[in-house]
Structure 1
Amino acid sequence: MNGTDGKHGRLGPDSASWRLMRERIVILGGMRALLMQSAHPSIAAAAERTGKYERDPWGRLDRTLRLTFMLTFGTREEITSAARQINRTHRAIHGTDDRTGLRYSAADQDLILWVHASLVSSFLLFERAGVGEFDAGDRQLFHQEMTATSTLLGLDAASTPPTVAALDEYVRSVLTGGTLRATTGSRTLKALMAAEGIDLRYPMSAVARYLAFHTLPTELRELYAVAHTDRDSVTVACLFAALRNGRRLLPRSRRYTDTANAAYARLGGVKVDLAGVPVLPARRHEAPHGDR
């Protein structure tokens, strides 16, 4: 599975991580993961303190996903650089939530695990619903690879649920454990994402926002005050079916993210700079109302 030269990085094109993270549909799950993370008051407090939600929420998500992609598709040197950048940023994020009085730190294991679990569970959900090529073994392998990758960012592998089923149980325990709550940060994020309906002027970005909210667990839909009816369940199923069927008609370059396409081009001998490849379409990581 591991590449033997620098172009393959840590994992290589046959890994579960490459095969899942290359899919554009799957990466829409990053928006769902952001909502899950922001429901944690300590994570919301840290984001609110930096002002990143208000100034540039899509830019924040794009930078997060870009570095996550670098850890998957990058050369060993790029992976090391990305991990250092993330860890350097995390070391500077700490303080006390003015509303709860709770101290927070981006190096806290509970927060690192929740961020990890939200990403893995969201990516797996969108793969199953929007692509449907992974079996149980692939899903487990992806979880193991992502756990190993996240240790570069301080995740304690020994404290991480070892299986996908155990990870799902962990997510359920957090959802029902009383930690997650609505905060100014989570309400700000909801307002910025404006997911109350599907805006046909920008269909893909609107569909992504809609799916991000309406695939959340019931507890988080209630936290974000998202009304979800049987009609929404049908809409979600129809949207995923359309994405899944439409994907089969697209060439590989359209099915895959720009980062994955660049990584495959690198394997063919093309010189590329993955750090300069955006993950999200330009419109989605513009600041609201043109503010920067």
Structure 2
Amino acid sequence: MSDAGLFGPDSVTWRVHREPIVTVGGLRSLYLQALHPRAVAGVEQNSRYRQDPWGRLRRTSDYVTTVIYGTTEQAEKAGRRVRAVHGRMTATDPRTGELFRVDEPELLRWVHVTEVESFLDAALRGGLRLSPAEIDGYFAEQTRAAALVGLDPATVPATASEIESYYEEMRPSLELTVDSAATGLFLTLPPLPYGLGLTPVRGLSFSVSALAIGLLPPWARRLYGLPGLAATGLVASANARVLGTLLRQIPLEWIESPARKDAMRRLAEARAAEAPAGLEA
């Protein structure tokens, strides 16, 4: 059988990331990540995302899809590149003046958890149906992705209840800093390429950002100074369900990533190679 990578077609991970709405989940995770003072300081002091936001988005998307759909070798190679880059980076905590490494386990764990929890949250609220066991299975599978960035999988929350407990544990250390507010504003109103900011695309972009904010946990919205009402989450869930339904009407081959296309090609070739032996049996 061809190398299906870290997860494979029978994994919950492939089911979740087949949902186009996970892109909104990715944006939701960035709003969450910005609430960790050191995590957002590390980005602000080391990244050029303000000068090239869409290039940064493309590179992040390429990394995620490579980890999910690439071969084991491709995923591990991508992980080595990320570890090498993070290993060279330091930042200064603006609150204390302390110098810290951006690859500290606490920071890597925060980024990982907010990312995978946000992907799953968007997929579920967009209409994907998973049992509690399958939800836990997704988080358990994603510890393999956590290992790629340098985390010990044993230290990564691997069930829905562990994720919930982790958020409760982290909340006292989260706050809205100057960097957090600036990042949140940038995410909500990013510069659009090719002059699209002067077209209706601006309204569409803002609607996606508003949906991502609405999907945040109530406590996260309150940290941003926004209403943490339960009704906000209900409205966001309804909008996500509509958007998820609409996106599923788009033929997958029109929007699927190159990594997924290559994975499907490898699997098809492997099945074709196995077919004669099966027929002879």
TM-score under structure 1 length normalisation:
0.79
1:72 aligned partner, one-letter code: I
Quick one: distance in 2 between partners of 1:248 and 1:65?
19
Deviation sequence 1:160-196 (CA, Å, 0-9, x none): 2342211111112212x2x11222322221221236x
Question: Residues 113, 139 of structure 1: CA spacing in aligned structure 2 closer, same or farther, 3 A cutoff?
Answer: same
Residue 57 of structure 2 is matched in structure 1 by: 61
| Contact 2:70/2:260 (8 A) holds in 1 | no
Secondary structure of 1:133's match? coil
1:108, CA displacement in angstroms? 1.0
1:31, CA displacement in angstroms? 0.6
Q: CA RMSD in A?
A: 2.7
Q: Which stretch shifts more, 248-257 or 185-194?
A: 248-257
Quick one: distance in 2 between partners of 1:257 and 1:131?
21
Long gaps (5+) in structure 2 = 190-197, 271-281
Question: Residues 207, 112 of structure 1: CA spacing in aligned structure 2 closer, same or farther, 3 A cutoff?
Answer: same
Residue 201 of structure 1 is matched in structure 2 by: 200
1:182 aligned to 176, 180, 183, which one? 176
2:31 aligned to 25, 35, 39, which one? 35
Quick one: distance in 2 between partners of 1:55 and 1:255?
26
Aligned length: 262
Quick one: distance in 2 between partners of 1:210 and 1:262?
33
Q: Which stretch shifts more, 77-86 or 91-100?
A: 91-100
Residue 222 of structure 1 is matched in structure 2 by: 222
Quick one: distance in 1 between partners of 2:264 and 2:247?
19
Question: Residues 200, 113 of structure 1: CA spacing in aligned structure 2 closer, same or farther, 3 A cutoff?
Answer: same
Secondary structure of 2:167's match? helix
Q: Which stretch shifts more, 10-19 or 50-59?
A: 50-59
2:2 aligned partner, one-letter code: D
Question: Residues 248, 95 of structure 1: CA spacing in aligned structure 2 closer, same or farther, 3 A cutoff?
Answer: closer
Residue 193 of structure 2 is matched in structure 1 by: none
1:100 aligned to 96, 101, 125, which one? 96
Question: Residues 240, 95 of structure 1: CA spacing in aligned structure 2 closer, same or farther, 3 A cutoff?
Answer: closer
Long gaps (5+) in structure 1 = 271-292
Quick one: distance in 1 between partners of 2:60 and 2:252?
24
Quick one: distance in 1 between partners of 2:53 and 2:98?
24
1:146, CA displacement in angstroms? 0.4
1:5 aligned partner, one-letter code: S
Deviation sequence 1:12-35 (CA, Å, 0-9, x none): 111111121222112320111111
- Rg: which structure is higher? 2
2:237 aligned partner, one-letter code: A
| Contact 1:23/1:257 (8 A) holds in 2 | no
Residues 239-254 of structure 1 aligned to structure 2 (within 5 Å)? 239-254=239-254
1:154, CA displacement in angstroms? 1.1
Question: Residues 42, 248 of structure 1: CA spacing in aligned structure 2 closer, same or farther, 3 A cutoff?
Answer: closer
Secondary structure of 2:100's match? strand
| 1:5 matched to 2:2 | yes
Residues 273-284 of structure 1 aligned to structure 2 (within 5 Å)? none
Quick one: distance in 2 between partners of 1:255 and 1:88?
31
1:153 aligned to 142, 149, 153, which one? 149
TM-score under structure 2 length normalisation:
0.82
Secondary structure of 1:104's match? strand
Residue 48 of structure 1 is matched in structure 2 by: 44
1:262, CA displacement in angstroms? 4.2
Quick one: distance in 1 between partners of 2:176 and 2:216?
14
Question: Residues 144, 137 of structure 1: CA spacing in aligned structure 2 closer, same or farther, 3 A cutoff?
Answer: same
Residue 81 of structure 2 is matched in structure 1 by: 85
Question: Residues 255, 165 of structure 1: CA spacing in aligned structure 2 closer, same or farther, 3 A cutoff?
Answer: farther
Residue 126 of structure 1 is matched in structure 2 by: 122
Question: Residues 227, 162 of structure 1: CA spacing in aligned structure 2 closer, same or farther, 3 A cutoff?
Answer: closer
Q: Which stretch shifts more, 36-45 or 246-255?
A: 246-255
